[in-house]
Chains A and B, each alone.
Chain A
């Protein structure tokens, strides 16, 4: 699987994304600088990493969504390429319109970093097939704006279309997200945005190794 990681000014999980991809796919991803970088032809997966692109100034993800590289990202998605946006990456995907809804400030108003139990809502997706038979996983979360919001009609739509990939375990919603949503898919199922960090749960550290499944699923899909 050929992958690429977009690097915005203020991205800070780009190296984590790089290492997780290199480890699982056996091939280092292309690191694409937002200003003048190019997503290499033939890229299967583009990751939009976490961090504080443009310092989260104005609104999380809003400035990054207008960065030069985003045109290529949108084209990649429109071609049916896979896109994985994590944390700030999820916020950016919502700002670009590749995913519906928005991420608001956590209901607690505090940044929250903790191990988070998630339920796998569907294993019939390119990002979660490896979790067949695994109802729950634990990924680290670390965000200030993870409170997913969309209109009721939109929520009904993504729910009925099976586009909710991950939910926070019942009673453990860390940020007030509507319907406990932790990660959602695009209509074609090839764009996933999620607040939790699977790339920080690839083994050998405090995050555990439950996140490997996301990358293994993509390996078999792409």
Chain B
């Protein structure tokens, strides 16, 4: 190991533009850096600039567009800009939530990549004082026939389960899709939701000068250091630094960290707190300094890196500052609380050290071996980060799909079975059975109930949160503006379907390279569509994450802006789930059916269309979404309906199939010619069309009159009495009556449908090539 003076000389050596480039600082950014700093940086400083100005930390390509999102409504306590969003759920409590991606690490090392994604998002939530109560994940993998897909699925699922199960937070919902567009870039988006008292919410902002900086959690190692190889190049005598930069999760430590932090948060010891996520100690200290001060004017920070608990010997300031070791937190404490805080962390056998102090200099000052190795103003790091207006081009508009070209006599029953067993629609039981969905004993409805949104009780109350995640990348690819609207509308609909009032969303925008104008066009238009839906539906964005450069060999992933929605259920006695449907219930279709087939599941799976040929996605009428969901929620509130399902992929037929499988009862639907209305008399678009704003309801037997009264009061909500829930139990079937008088019908055996629906994923995962 080199001696201290060699290390110090290396760390403090003045850097030039080529080194900047190696750190991802482009020529114009280098100029900006040198101008603002009024000198060239040394190695430690360059490392800090490079991570703070990275796309990941600075949102430099998306910032100006993200500002289009509405971020406030009557219930929002904290919007984007803190660790997570905060909403008022009444009774002095708040729900705190965020979604974040761990796409690139999960592709390289699926188990640890996914596990640390879960760990990171949990920290974002409990950093703010919330006890995490639910995890959700949105996964996208490549084509099932791609050689890497199976092992990626296995690794990601094991990683999510391995972390979430151990830490003791239920994984209650999620979505998993497959598409060749993700062959080289899988998406692992994890969402965490927590509950806190409104008077015990903690922020990164607000630290004042003269207070101790407290480091807690795991020791710092060399894992996850970006560019560590490059930085170590001059230490060529020992190559031990060149270990893989994969972060390793330790859910056991995270569990202890949650308990210890919440215990400390119950006191009044913490002035500001920030978890160490991406860019570790650098971003946590810089962000607390930049947002410090009574009025957010910013403060300074001085840290003695020799005091940072270290897992390995001989770590340099560069490595300590850029390490992404997991399960660590940085706090600013009130000075007289240090001993109490240390005692709490000692109880849980966690490292806890005072490593520095807040100052009024506005500078980030770091020392190692008693010498200053970094002294830079904080403001340029945070506020002067580049903010690009990347050139973009309007995405091409697709012509509508002319379904009449493709309509041929087919057996709709066989098509339904095929669609319900295709990779996107097949049961994901193989996945969610590996997640503990019930720990904390407040899970009312999870993936196992097949509902539109998970329902998680607020502990000790009769209230609950409804939580969902949604994205249809096929719609977004077909028309990012309309598709972006649809993503938000679908989350709104899913929450409404269980009886919740939709409150706010978190988003996870996954796209390709923003430096390409075509890709940037999709980013811009998707954001604008989403923002429009958020505005009209009063369903703002309170937190989120952007993942760009999801691209392999120049080909971007399908545009995938995922939304995590949260809604409030005031009274658990008034919810709707698929399980609730009872024999004798009347089936009602809410919303109008035009038979829109563009970009539909049918067009993809049955017709085998791709790209341009899929046509335009269904338009979203946001005003109708509001009317229809308000109507559905009022029916649930009034106890008129026993089950509600929203119509999405695969239209009415797939929604009916899911209701039948979820409730365990057969269904009869009257789809005679006279009912097909505006679909031009074609059964296929009526069954499989994906018009938006629709729900399938099971009205309780005996509540028909009440239903009609309520429907008459809402003449602007189209309703169609379409069938009933059958009493046929185990021999159940779905009967689509095409001509009731003639007794003509399409019949689908529930047992056969279930076996096809349940069979695909285990069959795929257990297959040996």
| B166–A199 CB distance below 8 A | no
Chain A contact patch, size range: 20 to 34
CB-contacts of B396-450 with A (<8 A): 432-446, 448-449
The CA-CA distance from A111 to B161 in the complex, in Å, is: 8
CB-contacts of B239-263 with A (<8 A): 250-253, 255-256
A197 within 8 A of B: yes
| B443–A56 CB distance below 8 A | no
Q: How many B residues face the partner with a CB closer than 8 A?
A: 35
Q: Which residue of the partner chain B has the closest CB to A57?
A: B252
A135 within 8 A of B: no
B67–chain A nearest beta-carbon distance, Å: 40
* A54: B residues at CB distance < 8 A: 252
User: B438 contacts which of A9, A55, A113, A204 (Cβ < 8 Å)?
Assistant: A113
The CA-CA distance from A65 to B340 in the complex, in Å, is: 29
The CA-CA distance from A112 to B572 in the complex, in Å, is: 28
B39 within 8 A of A: no
A90 within 8 A of B: no
| A52–B251 CB distance below 8 A | yes
The CA-CA distance from A142 to B170 in the complex, in Å, is: 11
Q: Which residue of the partner chain A has the closest CB to B154?
A: A110
| A111–B448 CB distance below 8 A | no
Name which of A51, A57, A206 has the most chain B CB atoms within 10 A of its CB. Answer: A206
* B168: A residues at CB distance < 8 A: 12-13, 51-52
| B449–A206 CB distance below 8 A | yes
Q: Which residue of the partner chain B has the closest CB to A174?
A: B433
User: A205 contacts which of B349, B432, B444 (Cβ < 8 Å)?
Assistant: B444
B766–chain A nearest beta-carbon distance, Å: 10
B741 within 8 A of A: no
A48–chain B nearest beta-carbon distance, Å: 15
A159 within 8 A of B: no
Q: Which residue of the partner chain A has the closest CB to B256?
A: A9
Q: Chain A 102-125 against B: per-residue CB contact (8 Å), 1 yes, 0 no?
A: 000000001111110000000000
* B432: A residues at CB distance < 8 A: 113
B388 within 8 A of A: no
B767 within 8 A of A: no
| A12–B441 CB distance below 8 A | no
| A12–B449 CB distance below 8 A | no
The CA-CA distance from A12 to B169 in the complex, in Å, is: 8
* B349: A residues at CB distance < 8 A: 9
Name which of B161, B167, B435, B438 has the most chain A CB atoms within 10 A of its CB. Answer: B438
B102 within 8 A of A: no
CB-contacts of B147-196 with A (<8 A): 158, 161-162, 165-168
| B434–A111 CB distance below 8 A | yes
The CA-CA distance from A110 to B681 in the complex, in Å, is: 49
Q: When A9-B349, A12-B168 are in contact, do A114 and B441 touch as well, CB less than 8 Å?
A: no
A202 within 8 A of B: yes
* B443: A residues at CB distance < 8 A: 205-207
| A200–B255 CB distance below 8 A | no
* A9: B residues at CB distance < 8 A: 252, 255-256, 348-349
* B251: A residues at CB distance < 8 A: 52, 55
A183 within 8 A of B: no
Q: Which residue of the partner chain A has the closest CB to B577?
A: A206
CB-contacts of B213-262 with A (<8 A): 250-253, 255-256
* A110: B residues at CB distance < 8 A: 158, 433-434
Q: Chain A 39-79 against B: per-residue CB contact (8 Å), 1 yes, 0 no?
A: 00000000000111011110000000000000000000000
* A13: B residues at CB distance < 8 A: 168, 439
Q: Mostly helix, strand, loop or mixed at chain B's interface?
A: mixed
| A16–B441 CB distance below 8 A | yes
A216 within 8 A of B: no
Q: When A10-B255, A55-B252, A142-B165 are in contact, do A206 and B436 touch as well, CB less than 8 Å?
A: no
A193 within 8 A of B: no
The CA-CA distance from A40 to B713 in the complex, in Å, is: 62
* A51: B residues at CB distance < 8 A: 168
| A197–B348 CB distance below 8 A | no
A29 within 8 A of B: no
Q: Which residue of the partner chain A has the closest CB to B172?
A: A206
Q: Which residue of the partner chain A has the closest CB to B169?
A: A12
| B439–A142 CB distance below 8 A | yes
Q: When A9-B348, A16-B439, A52-B165 are in contact, do A206 and B444 touch as well, CB less than 8 Å?
A: yes
| A111–B445 CB distance below 8 A | no
| B439–A12 CB distance below 8 A | yes
A179 within 8 A of B: no
The CA-CA distance from A28 to B438 in the complex, in Å, is: 21
The CA-CA distance from A2 to B695 in the complex, in Å, is: 50
* A16: B residues at CB distance < 8 A: 439-441
Q: When A9-B348, A112-B433, A142-B439 are in contact, do A206 and B165 touch as well, CB less than 8 Å?
A: no
* B250: A residues at CB distance < 8 A: 55
A52–chain B nearest beta-carbon distance, Å: 4
A197–chain B nearest beta-carbon distance, Å: 7
B258–chain A nearest beta-carbon distance, Å: 10
The CA-CA distance from A214 to B256 in the complex, in Å, is: 30
A141–chain B nearest beta-carbon distance, Å: 9
| A113–B440 CB distance below 8 A | no
A210–chain B nearest beta-carbon distance, Å: 13
Q: Which residue of the partner chain B has the closest CB to A202?
A: B441
The CA-CA distance from A85 to B541 in the complex, in Å, is: 44
CB-contacts of A1-51 with B (<8 A): 9-10, 12-13, 15-16, 19-20, 33, 35, 50-51
A146 within 8 A of B: no
23 A-B pairs whose Cβ atoms sit less than 8 Å apart in the complex: A12-B167, A15-B440, A33-B347, A52-B166, A52-B168, A52-B255, A55-B166, A57-B252, A111-B161, A111-B162, A111-B436, A112-B434, A113-B432, A142-B436, A197-B438, A200-B441, A204-B444, A205-B438, A205-B441, A205-B444, A206-B444, A206-B445, A206-B446
A10-B252, A12-B439 given. 18 additional CB < 8 A pairs? A9-B252, A9-B255, A16-B440, A16-B441, A50-B439, A51-B168, A54-B252, A110-B433, A113-B165, A113-B435, A113-B437, A200-B439, A204-B572, A205-B438, A205-B444, A206-B437, A206-B449, A207-B441
Using CB atoms and an 8 Å cutoff, list the residues of chain A in contact with chain B: 9-10, 12-13, 15-16, 19-20, 33, 35, 50-52, 54-57, 110-115, 140, 142, 144, 197, 199-200, 202, 204-207
